[in-house]
Homo-oligomer: A and B are copies of this chain.
Amino acid sequence: MREVSKFTVVTEGTVTTPQGFQAGGLHCGLKKTTRNDLGAIVCEVPAVAAAVYTLNVFQAAPLKVTRESIASSGQRLRAIIVNSGNANACTGKQGEEDAYAMRAAAAEAFGVRPEEVAVASTGVIGELLPMDRVNAGIQGLPAVLTAGADGAEEFCQAILTTDLVKKEVCVKLNVNGREVSIAGAAKGSGMIHPNMATMLGFVTTDAVIKPEALQALLGMTTDATFNMITVDGDTSTNDMLLAMSSGLAGNEALTPEHPDWESFVAGFGYVCEFLAKAIARDGEGASRLVEVNVEGAVSDLSARAIAKTVIGSSLVKSAVFGADANWGRIIAAVGRAGEPVNPETVDISLGSIPVLTDSRPISFDEEEALAYLQGDTVVIHVHLHNGEGRATAWGCDLTYDYVRINAAYRT
C-alpha cells in the first residue's frame, strides 16, 4: 500500500488561511443583542464550489437560492453571505424574494455576479427578514473584509446562534510539493441531527480540485462526520455545508487518481470531523462530549444506524449528564435500532472500563466509572461481534440547560 503523507493542523489557522479568501462580519440588527449577525466569505477568484443540503421537506429559501447559484455558475462561487438570528424558513414567496434580494445585494457589494453568491440563514423559523437591516448590513461588509485572522473571527461570530464558542479549524498538507490549506467554520447548536448536511458549515481550500471530485469528497466526508452527530434528533430546515476551493495553491488538479488524493481526503476529513465534534460538544446545554464507537456490525451502514440510535437516546444522554454508568440504557438503545444484532454477543465499555461482555453484566469499580463519566469527554464502545462494520457518532449529554434554552428560545 502506498504511504499516505501527513497533514498538519495549523493552530492559528482560519477560513482565510487558504489563499484567495477574505472574511468579515458585523451586527446589522437581526439579533437582539449586539453580537454579529451578518457575515461573508469572499474569494478573489471564482472558487470551485460544492454543497450538501438538509433532507428536511421544508427547505429554507436560502437553500433554494444557493442550489440555483451553484447549478447556474458551473459550480463556481465568489462569495457566501450568511445571516444568523432568522432562518428565513417557512416564509413563503416573500422569503424566497428576500433570499434572492440578499444574493443580489451581496453581488453588488462584492462586485461579482449574483449566480456566484451563495446564501445561508440560521435562526428562528417563520419570520420574515427585516430586509432594510440586512441590506444596510451588506453595504457595510466590504469595508470589514480582511484576509487576516480578525476578519475570520468576525465571520465565525456572525454565524452563531445559541452556540457558546466558535468552531474553526485549519490544516496544511503538500500536494505535488505545493503547500495546500483546508480550513472550515461551522455553527450549531440546536435542531442538530443532520441528514446529508449540518446546520451551517463552510470549508475553504486553495487546492486545485475538479468540481466533481470536490462534490464527491464533500458528500462522502459528510456521511462520516456531520451526518454522525446529533444534539436533539431534530433535523433543521436550514442545514447546509458549503466548500469553496480557490485553486491558488497551483497544484495539479486533484481527482481520486491524483497521487496525493488520500492526503487531501485525510486533511479534508479532519477538518469536517473537527467541526462536527465541535458542534456536538457545544450542543445546547451540553456539559460533555459523548462519542459512540460501534464495531462488529454487519456493515458500516448498520453500525452508523446503531451508533446514531445510542447517541440520540434521551435516557443515555441523561445518564451521561448524571455520570451514571447505566449501561442498561445503552444496550436498550442498541436493541431498538432496527439493525441486526446478536443478543448474546454484545460487549460494552465506558472508556477503558468494560461493563458488559457477551451481553452479560460484569462487575466494575463504580468509583472509577464515576470519575471517568465526570470527565470532559465520554467514549462508549459497543462491539457486536457480528461482522466487520464500524462507525463513530458524536453527541452530548441532556442537561437542565437544554430544557431551559429550548423552553424559552422564541419568547
- Residues of chain A having any CB pair with chain B under 8 Å: 55-59, 87, 89-92, 124-127, 190-191, 193, 195, 232-237, 312-315, 318-319, 321-322, 324-329, 331-336, 341, 343, 356, 359-361, 398-400, 402-411
- With a cutoff of 8 Å between Cβ atoms, the chain B residues found around residue A56 in the complex are 332, 335-336
Of all chain B residues, the one with the shortest Cβ separation from A234 is B315
Prevailing SS type, chain A contact patch: loop
Sample of 28 A–B contacts (CB below 8 Å) = A55-B336, A56-B336, A57-B335, A58-B331, A58-B334, A58-B335, A90-B359, A125-B332, A126-B327, A126-B328, A126-B331, A126-B361, A232-B315, A233-B313, A234-B314, A234-B315, A234-B333, A234-B336, A235-B336, A237-B335, A314-B314, A315-B406, A319-B407, A322-B407, A322-B408, A325-B410, A400-B400, A402-B403
- With a cutoff of 8 Å between Cβ atoms, the chain B residues found around residue A322 in the complex are 406-409, 411
- With a cutoff of 8 Å between Cβ atoms, the chain B residues found around residue A237 in the complex are 328, 331-332, 335
Whether A125 touches B331, Cβ cut-off 8 Å, given contacts A233-B314, A400-B403, A403-B399, is yes
CB-contact partner of A191 in B327, B332, B341, under 8 A: B332
Q: Tell me how many chains of this kind the complex includes.
A: 2
- With a cutoff of 8 Å between Cβ atoms, the chain B residues found around residue A360 in the complex are 90-92
Select the residue from A55, A328, A408 with max chain B CB neighbours within 10 A: A328
| A261 nearest CB across to chain B (Å) | 34
| A286 nearest CB across to chain B (Å) | 12
Whether A92 touches B328, Cβ cut-off 8 Å, given contacts A406-B315, A407-B321, is no
- A233–B311 Cα gap in the complex (Å)? 12
Select the residue from A90, A235, A341 with max chain B CB neighbours within 10 A: A90
* A315→B190 contact, CB < 8 A: yes
CB-contact partner of A90 in B126, B191, B356, B405, under 8 A: B356
- With a cutoff of 8 Å between Cβ atoms, the chain B residues found around residue A335 in the complex are 56-58, 235, 237
* A328→B124 contact, CB < 8 A: yes
* B58→A343 contact, CB < 8 A: yes
* B90→A324 contact, CB < 8 A: no
CB-contact partner of A89 in B190, B232, B328, under 8 A: B328
Whether A318 touches B233, Cβ cut-off 8 Å, given contacts A191-B332, A328-B89, A334-B58, is no
- With a cutoff of 8 Å between Cβ atoms, the chain B residues found around residue A405 in the complex are 318
Of all chain B residues, the one with the shortest Cβ separation from A95 is B360
- With a cutoff of 8 Å between Cβ atoms, the chain B residues found around residue A232 in the complex are 313-315
| A140 nearest CB across to chain B (Å) | 29
- A405–B334 Cα gap in the complex (Å)? 22
* A409→B324 contact, CB < 8 A: yes
| A129 nearest CB across to chain B (Å) | 13
- A235–B87 Cα gap in the complex (Å)? 33
* A343→B191 contact, CB < 8 A: no
